[in-house]
Copies of this chain bind each other. A is one copy, B any other.
Amino acid sequence: MADNSEICDVIVVGTGPAGISAAVNLKILGADFILFGHSSLSEKVERSELIRNYPGLPEVTGPELNRLFAEHLSAAGVEIRNENVVGIYDMGDYLSVLTDKRSVNAFSVIIASGVQSLKPAKGELEFLGRGVSYCATCDGELYRGKKIAVVCDSPALEHEAVYLSSLAGYMYYFPVMKETSVKESDTLRIAGGTVKEVSGGMKVQSVITSSGESIDVDGVFFLKRSVSPSALMFGLATDEDGHIVVSRDMSASVRGCFAAGDVTGRPYQLAKAAGEGNTAAHSALALAKQRREEQKLQKIERQNT
C-alpha cells in the first residue's frame, strides 16, 4: 500500500457551500487536505437571484454570496484545485481519488458535489467504462478517429468538448446549456435535444436522443460539473433519489467516505449545506487521524516481526 506520507488527511470534492464550509474548517483545524472543484464555485448559487434565508446575510444575491465565499477561501488560505473528480476507490485503509489530471490518496473523502442538473441517461451507468466516460483527458485518446457523442452541462467544461473534437473522427455534440461556444464543422454536428439512452452489447453502440433519433457511436462522454454519487463511487449506499445515505456525523456507507450538502438530500438549502460541510470536516478529520495512527502501529508491528 501507499506510504503514509503520500496519503493526505482529507479530500473534499466540490466547491459549493458544503465543500467550502468543509475546506475552511479543515484549514482552521490544521488538516492536510485538498479541495477539488471549480474556481467559479457553485453555478447553482451563482444563478440564485435573491437569498433571504442564509442567517447573517439578510438579503444577498447569488453572485454576491459566491464572491463572499471566494473571499472567505482566500482569507483562510484555501486553494482550489480546478480538477474534475471522476472516481473514488476504496483501497481498504484509505481512499484513492481519480481526477482528470491525477490520482491522489486520502484517509477520508468528503463528497460535496451537489445534485445533478443532469440526471443519468438510461444505460449511462451500465456502460460506464464500456464506452461511457466522464473524463475527456483520461479516455479521449481511446476514441481517436472514432465516432462519439458528447453531452456537456457547463460552459466551464466546453474546452473538454473542444479537445474531444480534435481527436474524434466525428462528434455529435449535445450542449445542455442554452448557448454554446463550440462551432459546427465537417466533423462536428451540434445535435438538438439531449441523450436519453445509451445502448449497445458488450460496448456502447448507439445513443438515442430525446427526439427519438438513434445515432451509432463508439463512445459517449458526459461532461458534467458533478458526477452522480453512484457513478463516482462503487458500492456507496444511495436512496431512491440517488442521494448519498449518511449518518448524523455525515459518514456514508463506505468507511472513510463522508458527504455533505445537496448530495445527501433535501432540503436543498445553503445553510444546511454549510452546516453539513462543517460537521463532515470534523468527522472526516477525526477518522483520518485515527487511520494514520493505525497505519503507524501496523508499520511498527511489521518492523518488529
Measured CB to CB, the residues of A under 8 A from B are 17, 20-21, 24-25, 28, 52-60, 65, 68-69, 71-72, 75-76, 246, 248, 264-267, 269, 271-279, 282
Contacts and interface: CB of A to CB of B under 8 A. Distances in A.
Given A58-B75, A58-B76, A246-B248, A53 B267 contact: no
Contacts of A265: 248
Chain A interface, DSSP helix/strand/loop, else mixed: helix
A94 B158 CA distance: 54
B278 A272 contact: yes
Contact of A68 (B53, B56, B72, B279): B56
Given A56-B54, A56-B56, A58-B72, A277 B282 contact: no
A241 to B, nearest CB: 14
A239 B52 CA distance: 34
Copies of this protein in the assembly total: 2
Contacts of A54: 56, 274
A69 B55 contact: yes
B75 A68 contact: no
26 contacts: A17-B55, A21-B55, A24-B55, A25-B269, A28-B52, A28-B53, A53-B278, A54-B274, A55-B69, A55-B72, A55-B274, A56-B57, A56-B68, A56-B72, A57-B72, A58-B71, A58-B72, A58-B76, A267-B282, A269-B275, A269-B279, A272-B278, A272-B279, A274-B275, A275-B275, A275-B276
Contact of A52 (B24, B60, B65, B71): B24
A57 to B, nearest CB: 6
A265 B71 CA distance: 30
A281 to B, nearest CB: 9
Contact of A274 (B52, B58, B274): B274
A265 B283 CA distance: 13
A17 B56 CA distance: 9
A21 to B, nearest CB: 5
A60 B59 CA distance: 18
A88 B39 CA distance: 47
Contacts of A52: 24, 28, 75-76
Contacts of A282: 266-267, 269
A263 to B, nearest CB: 13
Nearest to A265: B248
Nearest to A267: B282
Contacts of A276: 272, 275
A280 B264 CA distance: 15
